[in-house]
Structure 1
Amino acid sequence: MKKRKIEIMDTTLRDGEQTSGVSFTASEKLTIAQLLLEELHVDRIEIASTRVSEGEFDAVKGITSWAKNKGLINKVEVLSFVDGGLSIAWMEESGAKVQNLLTKGSLNHLKHQLKKTPKEHFEAIAQVIQLAQNKGIQTNVYLEDWSNGMKNSPDYVYQFLDFLETQPIKRVLLPDTLGVLTPRETFKFLSQIREKYPKMHLDFHGHNDYDLGVANVMESIEAGVNGIHLTINGMGERAGNAPLASVVAVINDFFPQVSIDVKESSLYKVSKLVETFSGFRIPENKPILGDNVFTQTAGIHADGDSKHNLYFNELLPERFGRKRTYALGKTSGKANIQKNLLELGLHLSDEDILKVTNRIIELGDKKEVVTKEDLPYIISDVLHNQSYEEKIKVNSYVLNHAKGLRPTTTVSLTIDQETIEESAQGDGQFDAFMKTLHKIYAKKKLELPKLTDYAVRIPPGSNSDALCETVITWKFGEKTFKTRGLDSDQTVSAIIATQKMLNIIKN
């Protein structure tokens, strides 16, 4: 069976740029346009609105010049207006060859915004279309607020479509401008239009106000549309537009009768670049693109992945140029840790894996996720510092730090089975902790080593709430040695390193 081709029109550079706070430079627009057409292989791009600004004009001119040299000029579209030919003149000068003419798709908009009759509106549209044809500019027509038009003034919409059948246009673009359609309504309205106008090229433009953008696009395809409008990362006004990556995955997995040309493996790369240019962050749980969507956290899922891929679906990360990762946290199990150890080329015994697992669970209660980059530090902390018997224990401590006052620390320490409490002030929290220890050891007539170096580091590539490893160098008589502490809190990691030192000198 021959597959039905669906055109993908990306409107990131026009509708997506209406995202609050987003404005692309001319060079960024050109780069994105090039990636969309040559890397992602979308069929068409809508890059701007006419007559917006001098900067927009320069951006369009740069894209059309490049597209003309590449033979892609007919894939580049610009939103235009029924303005007596002003938009056509702007397009001529900018080099654009395809206009998406914005018209009124509901009687409500026509009456209250334009204050015109349908006949007057259609006549003005016909004049713009004819002028465009005379200038060698192709026309597609947007029916703005079409979804409300179908809900509240369907006779007007059909009257409009009857008129458009008589015009030399290529496509009719049907937007759910305010994102008010349910999937059932989307299918119903588009099916009715498809049946009445079987030869008309129909595009559906879905917004995401009720988080129904992808579902409505699915129903539009079922209803027989020829094209769909999408944006990178779901960018767009208010809640945004139907997102390109999600829709591409849905079409490829659930519509075997449909073909599209978009290159899945480039989606993530292009989306991350647009994220950088726009400053519009991709949510961590956003399907296909989010940082967490190919991350297994529960140990049972990692175990299942090793046993006939029990927790896989069709959304394999490799399809989108990504990799599956296994997070480490309080729900992690042995399987998660083994997956990460394999990636790092490390091998541990079952006994050592259990020790590391317990330490990760303990740390997971303090922070959400332990990263793969943290793992060597945890292994070092758990396995490489067990060469002493723990005879001295820091039972508890209170660290006080207030503006205008010197930090104060109270420590409870058990030494030689005796528990001692002391308090002291210092120049910082750890300095106050050390001064407290000196008071305790003075009581016991014991000597403490001299701290000669103090270094804090975060595992390379780890995240913003990463573990801190504090490495302290001590000099005790003629002997110099180091101890390490690991925690998500810098001062706590230093205290852990210090407790190790106390036990080393005791032993």
Structure 2
Amino acid sequence: MSKRSIEIMDTTLRDGEQTSGISFSASEKLTIARLLIEELGVDRIEVASARVSEGEFEAVKNIIDWANENGYINQIEILTFVDGGKSIQWMKDTGAKVQNLLTKGSLNHLTYQLKKTPEQHFGDITKAFEQATQEGIITNVYLEDWSNGMRNSSEYVYQFLDFLSTQPVKRVLLPDTLGVLIPSEAYAYLSSLRNRYPHIHFDFHAHNDYDLGVANAIEGVKAGVNGLHLTMNGMGERAGNAPLASVVAVINDYLPEIRINVKESALYKVSKLVETFSGFKIPANKPVVGDNVFTQTAGIHADGDNKHNLYFNDLMPERFGRKRKYALGKTSGKANIEKNLQELGLKLSAEDIKKVTQKIIKLGDKKEVVTQEDLPYIISDVLDSKLYQDKVKIKSYVLNHAKGLKPSATLAIKMDDEVLEEHAQGDGQYDAFINALEKVYTQKKKSLPKLIDYAVRIPPGSNSDALCETVITWKTETKEFVTRGLDSDQTVSAIKATEKMLNIIEL
């Protein structure tokens, strides 16, 4: 059976950037655009709204220049408006060739926002088509508030589509603008349009206000739409848009008759880069790309994985360039401990594993975070072994932070029975400390792992003297690992976490 192809249009750089508090720089936009098309393999990307700002103009121009050089120009789309040709001129100045023209897909929006009749609106749109055609610009048309239009004024929607059938429109884009649809409605409305207008290319654009974005997108595919609009990490206004990673995984696993071009193996790394650029944190329990989704916490699950993979499903982490993890905490069992020991290449007797497990459960009861890298410390503590030794010791340090002066740090560190001192400045006290540490390691012709995440946790309701936990994620050429430090001073807790990292890389 031949598969039916679905276009995936990513709108992270346009609709996703409408997430509250999010703004990408021009260089970030270009980097994301390149990754979406070249690494992830999406078919099209919507990168901006016309006439927003001078910065947006420059960002789009950079993307268009790159797209022209690499043959992607018809994959770059701009949201435009029925504005007497101003958007067309903006597009012409950037060199963009595909517009997504925003029009009114419900009678309510048309009547109360534009205060026009359907005939007047269609006349304005006709002129917009003529202007675009003159400039060699391809036109797709958004029917804003289309879902409410189908609910409350379906005859207007049909009238509009009858009109569009006579125009040089490439695609009709159907947004659930306010995220109001339930899956049965999405299927019914899109099926009715598919049957009535078999020759129109329909895209469906789902929002996630009721957490139904993925379900609605899948119903859209079943109903016969030709394309879907999605965003990385579900970014977008209010509750966001349907997330690309989840929709891709569902299509690949549950709709075998559908073909998409997105490369699953690149989903995680592109999602993490978008997270870094945007500052919009991926929830730990976010399907496919969240930190916890391939982490087994309960000991019974780890035991089941050892016994014929009883707790595996088709969402194998290797599909997305990830690995399964086994968390350590108060619900950990012997099987979790054994899985982590295997990763570290360590073996313990059954009696010793029992002692280590009891220690980890006690730490979990105190709400302390336990990571795989903590295991050597715990084993040494519980079994009085020499498994872990302080090979690197931060003997002393001075941190300076004065108004009007750049923060600085001086440290003395013992390595290989030698004490080394260095001084450096930085953007903050911890940054200055790390810069001084880098100087020491440069002297020793050694390199430090890259810091990729830094999280500070203080118990809710605490006072200013509360203990603070700093959890830092590091990345070497071969792996990522986490260390933590605990102190009433945030910078000191970070330094404690860093000292632990230095000893781990020495092991």
TM-score (ref. length: structure 2): 0.77
Aligned CA distance change for structure 1 residues 144 and 294 (closer, same or farther; 3 Å): same
Q: Where does 1:27-426 land on structure 2 (aligned, <5 Å)?
A: 27-367=27-367, 369-384=369-384
- Match for residue 429 of structure 1? none
Aligned CA distance change for structure 1 residues 349 and 199 (closer, same or farther; 3 Å): same
Q: Which SS does the other structure have where 1:46 is aligned?
A: strand
**Distance in 2 (alpha carbons) for counterparts of 1:329 and 1:101:** 53
Q: CA deviation at 1:465?
A: 5.7
Which portions of structure 1, spanning 4 or more consecutive aligned residues, are displaced by more than 4 angstroms? Answer: 456-468
Residue 274 of structure 2 aligns to which amino acid in structure 1? V
CA RMSD, 1 decimal: 1.9
Unaligned 5+ segments in structure 1 are 387-455, 469-489, 491-507
Aligned CA distance change for structure 1 residues 351 and 237 (closer, same or farther; 3 Å): same
**Distance in 2 (alpha carbons) for counterparts of 1:298 and 1:457:** 25
- Match for residue 4 of structure 2? 4
Q: CA deviation at 1:369?
A: 4.0
Aligned CA distance change for structure 1 residues 343 and 459 (closer, same or farther; 3 Å): farther
**Distance in 1 (alpha carbons) for counterparts of 2:385 and 2:305:** 33
Is the contact between residue 331 and residue 361 of structure 1 (CA under 8 Å) also seen in structure 2?
A: yes
Question: What do residues 54-94 of structure 1 show as CA deviations (whole Å, max 9, x unaligned)?
Answer: 00000000000000100000000000000111101100010
**Distance in 1 (alpha carbons) for counterparts of 2:216 and 2:21:** 27
TM-score (ref. length: structure 1): 0.77
Unaligned 5+ segments in structure 2 are 387-468, 475-480, 488-495, 497-507
Is the contact between residue 472 and residue 484 of structure 2 (CA under 8 Å) also seen in structure 1?
A: no
Aligned CA distance change for structure 1 residues 460 and 227 (closer, same or farther; 3 Å): closer
Q: Where does 1:468-487 land on structure 2 (aligned, <5 Å)?
A: none
**Distance in 1 (alpha carbons) for counterparts of 2:470 and 2:104:** 61
**Distance in 2 (alpha carbons) for counterparts of 1:308 and 1:467:** 39
**Distance in 1 (alpha carbons) for counterparts of 2:101 and 2:306:** 54
Residue 110 of structure 1 aligns to which amino acid in structure 2? L
**Distance in 1 (alpha carbons) for counterparts of 2:61 and 2:349:** 64
Is the contact between residue 373 and residue 460 of structure 1 (CA under 8 Å) also seen in structure 2?
A: no
> Number of matched residues?
401
Overall identity of the aligned pairs, in %: 73
Is the contact between residue 377 and residue 459 of structure 1 (CA under 8 Å) also seen in structure 2?
A: no
Aligned CA distance change for structure 1 residues 457 and 235 (closer, same or farther; 3 Å): closer
Is the contact between residue 355 and residue 382 of structure 1 (CA under 8 Å) also seen in structure 2?
A: yes
- Match for residue 501 of structure 2? none
Residue 306 of structure 1 aligns to which amino acid in structure 2? N
Residue 160 of structure 2 aligns to which amino acid in structure 1? F
Residue 70 of structure 1 aligns to which amino acid in structure 2? N
**Distance in 2 (alpha carbons) for counterparts of 1:49 and 1:458:** 38
Aligned CA distance change for structure 1 residues 68 and 145 (closer, same or farther; 3 Å): same
Q: CA deviation at 1:331?
A: 1.0
Question: What do residues 157-200 of structure 1 show as CA deviations (whole Å, max 9, x unaligned)?
Answer: 00000000000011000000000001010000000000000111
Flag the structure with larger Rg. Answer: 1
